[in-house]
Amino acid sequence: MREIKFRGISKNNNRWIYGFVSIDKNSAKMEGFPHFISRASGYLPVEVVPRSVGQYIGLKDEYGIEIYDGDIVEIAEQPLLRFEIVYSTEHAAFMRRWLSSLVSVTRECGTEEHIPPNTTFWKVIGNRYENPELLQ
């Protein structure tokens, strides 16, 4: 069974917080509803930047780094082949959205496809929150 956990950037110190997510719908703010992440049961929740929140997809890259929704990944042997991990409500699944225009003849930039079970040759190179330039 896949481990369910989230990450988000703390509003206090700009560091990643990992754990359980909750949304406080009773106190909406300009940026949307506040999001909180608790490291474990019993810890006080930390307010995080809502757009930085991503869920662990249950897979790791070639270096053992956990892959989260919003991560930007490249194929290790072919660094020009990049994609972003996204959640598709249409498929109710995490998907990879190709960012590179050099993907192949059968795929175009922006094409979404299911994530294969073998991520041994993947390398996390950033995420949409800290590295928006990689989405270009």
Q: Average per-residue pLDDT in the chain? A: 84
Alpha-carbon distance of 17 to 28, in angstroms, equals: 21
Q: What is the percentage of the chain residues whose pLDDT exceeds 90?
A: 47
- Tens digits of residue pLDDT in 76-117: 888 778 899 999 999 999 999 988 755 555 567 778 888 988
Query: SS3 for 118?
Result: coil
Calculate the dihedral angle through the C-alpha atoms of 72, 75, 76, 80, rounding to the nearest 10 degrees. Answer: -90
Strand runs labelled E in the chain: 6-9, 16-23, 35-38, 46-48, 54-60, 66-68, 71-75, 78-88, 93-98, 112-114, 122-127
3 pLDDT band, cuts 50/70/90, is confident
Tokens of 92: 């109710």
